Structure 1
Amino acid sequence: MATLTTSDVTLPTQIVDGIVEKTKTGSTIAALSNQEPMRFGPATIVTFDDDLTAEFVEEGAAKSEDDAQPSSVVAPPHKAVVNFRTSDEFLIADEDYQLGVLDKFEEKCARALARGLDLGAYYRINPRTGSAITAWTNYLNTTTNRVEITASSEPDLDFEAAAGLVIGDGYSPTGVALDPSYAWTLSTARYADGRKKYPELGLGVNVSGFEGLRASVSSTVSGKPVDGSTADNKVRAIVGNYEQGIRWGVQRTFPFRMLQFGDPDNTGRDLAGHNEILFRAEVIFAWYVFADQFAVIEDAAA
């Protein structure tokens, strides 16, 4: 573990791989859409919403113009930072203890980055504060396609209504992100004779598909900055064209760092003065959400 005495820490391969894989599976966006390779900086995404038309041209006749034109949008970069303080006794501990701490950081870091991607792209929420980043104007929850859950609602019919709004706008829904409470509601829906409507959903945990669409479950759907948070924006499901409606990628990952001096997370506590060290991981995401390709199912009390 000699590398741990330097400021840039090289994690064991299995830990680095674990962070990447867990981030992918922990985010509903990453579970339902594909990451794209992106260079650092604002990424220009070409769009072509106008349909082209074919033209039959008779012998010797002139060809006419098709006025369909491509346009573009810009996916700006967003840096996500994860900090983790621990006692500087870590430096003199044995290798098993050090790897145990790194394993825990891996788990927490992966979870934080995964949730950050969802919260930023869905609701422009800063996960650390739980507040909206008002300078960001592109996020999914600006969609006008909305279905309200009422006391007489049937969850499967609400789902159909949401999918119908997306289809009515000319897009094909490919996935659905579910809040855990709504996944439970769907999994326990029953016919009048007591039979489950969707026995394949089990108890609503780790749902991977519903009604022919890919599915993913996370409390980020209801805008919770951390698991167990009481924050709740009343959104219960997001249905839409995840394959084309969200364009995202990781532009850059910074070296995992171990810092021993100063106040790198601006807490007012000097690391050396309080016998602490700080681990830091940074990732630059970029995304653009075409909000009109999605529909939100939300509690009527929202």
Structure 2
Amino acid sequence: MALSTPGITLPRSVAAAITTKIKDSSTIAALSPRVPQLFADDTVLVFDGASEAEVVAEGAKKAAYEQSLTSVTAKRVKIQTTTRVTNELKWADEDDQLEIIKRIQEDQAAALGRALDYVVYHAINPKTGAALDAGYKKLSETATQVTAGKDALDNFDNLVSAINETYDVNGLAMAKTFANQLRKLRVAATGGRYFPEIPLSLNTTSVEGITAATSATVSGVRATEPTKVLAFAGDFNLIRWGMVRDLSAEIIEYGDPDGTGVDLKNTGQLAYRTEATLAYTVLDPKAFAVLKSA
């Protein structure tokens, strides 16, 4: 008996494994200190902690601060990826229904991770490269803007300097182009590298003691319009994201599920589809700076 086609809700342990794999391709997941969790969509009250101590003379009046609270509502994002394969794989799946998960999770979970970066950084649909509607805010536009010059080391310093007077810098997300520029920098007197922690693969985990991640998603390589983004730096504690709905896998045997005009049954194919709903919010975009090429 062939594996039935209704949607299969992934067990919690498998969902957790896939969520962990997202870190392999998402700089946001890699730099956020919070391990992704299944949580309900919510509204976050932001307390900015504006008070400072006052020195007062004995018997003098004491001043106060008016503390305001702002709210930020998490944005829900439904994402899916559909992969067509020959229907011969269906028989391999009969031995164990979770075999389908093993086959799709590496490729499709990586796609889900890339989608997280594309949506938060650029408000772009990674499948088409087109911009999402105005309800999606681009961190690449709301963050403090820094324009790159010819000197990569100056660009790195200016990026961090743009925000470190008021916020902690605990994360650096780099496009591969910028990571490679930093990797090539050498000390004139010794020939040693300025950033030996950046390897040839560019997959660094830290730069000058700050947690770092490198991915093509930072520059939005799939965008139809160039983003010019080279790097983000800032307090990645202030990006909140997680799962609103469990990941689910579905096997589709009939019809044209992806609108390509090719019928699955007629061509001897199956479609494997993974869907999820994420929610994210950037509590304060000014806690981030973005470096862009001129």
State the TM-score, normalized to the length of structure 1: 0.83
Pairing of 1:83-122 with structure 2 (within 5 A): 83-93=82-92, 103-122=102-121
Q: What is the CA deviation profile of residues 218-271 of structure 1, one whole-angstrom value per residue up to 9, with x for unaligned ones?
A: 00011123xxx8974221111111112x12111112421111123222222332
* Aligned partner (choices 229, 232, 247) of residue 235 of structure 1: 229
Residues 98-107 or 28-37, more deviating = 98-107
Tell me which amino acid in the other structure corresponds to 1:47: V
Pairing of 1:61-100 with structure 2 (within 5 A): 66-93=65-92
Tell me which amino acid in the other structure corresponds to 2:185: A
SS in structure 1 opposite 2:106?
A: helix
**1:20 Cα deviation after fit:** 2.3
Residues 94-103 or 60-69, more deviating = 94-103
Partner residue in 1 for 2:212: 215
Partner residue in 2 for 1:257: 250
Evaluate the alpha carbon distance shift between residue 100 and residue 187 of structure 1 in structure 2; reply closer, same or farther with a 3 A threshold.
Answer: farther
Distance 1:19 1:213 in 2: 26
SS in structure 2 opposite 1:141?
A: helix
**Count, aligned residues:** 291
Identical counterparts, % of pairs: 35
**1:296 Cα deviation after fit:** 1.2
Partner residue in 2 for 1:166: 163
In proportion to residue count, which structure has more helix? 1
1:295 and 2:292 aligned: no
Evaluate the alpha carbon distance shift between residue 81 and residue 125 of structure 1 in structure 2; reply closer, same or farther with a 3 A threshold.
Answer: same
8 Å CA contact retained: 2:254, 2:265 = yes
Distance 2:68 2:132 in 1: 33
Partner residue in 2 for 1:272: 265
Evaluate the alpha carbon distance shift between residue 3 and residue 40 of structure 1 in structure 2; reply closer, same or farther with a 3 A threshold.
Answer: farther
1:184 and 2:185 aligned: no
What runs of 5+ residues in structure 2 fail to find an aligned partner?
Answer: none
Tell me which amino acid in the other structure corresponds to 1:203: L
Q: What is the CA deviation profile of residues 170-222 of structure 1, one whole-angstrom value per residue up to 9, with x for unaligned ones?
A: 11111100111211211120122322222232325220001221000100011
What runs of 5+ residues in structure 1 fail to find an aligned partner?
Answer: none
Partner residue in 2 for 1:281: 274
SS in structure 2 opposite 1:251?
A: strand
SS in structure 2 opposite 1:255?
A: strand
SS in structure 1 opposite 2:261?
A: coil
Distance 1:144 1:11 in 2: 36
Evaluate the alpha carbon distance shift between residue 111 and residue 207 of structure 1 in structure 2; reply closer, same or farther with a 3 A threshold.
Answer: same
RMSD value over aligned CA atoms? Answer: 3.1
Residues 9-18 or 266-275, more deviating = 9-18
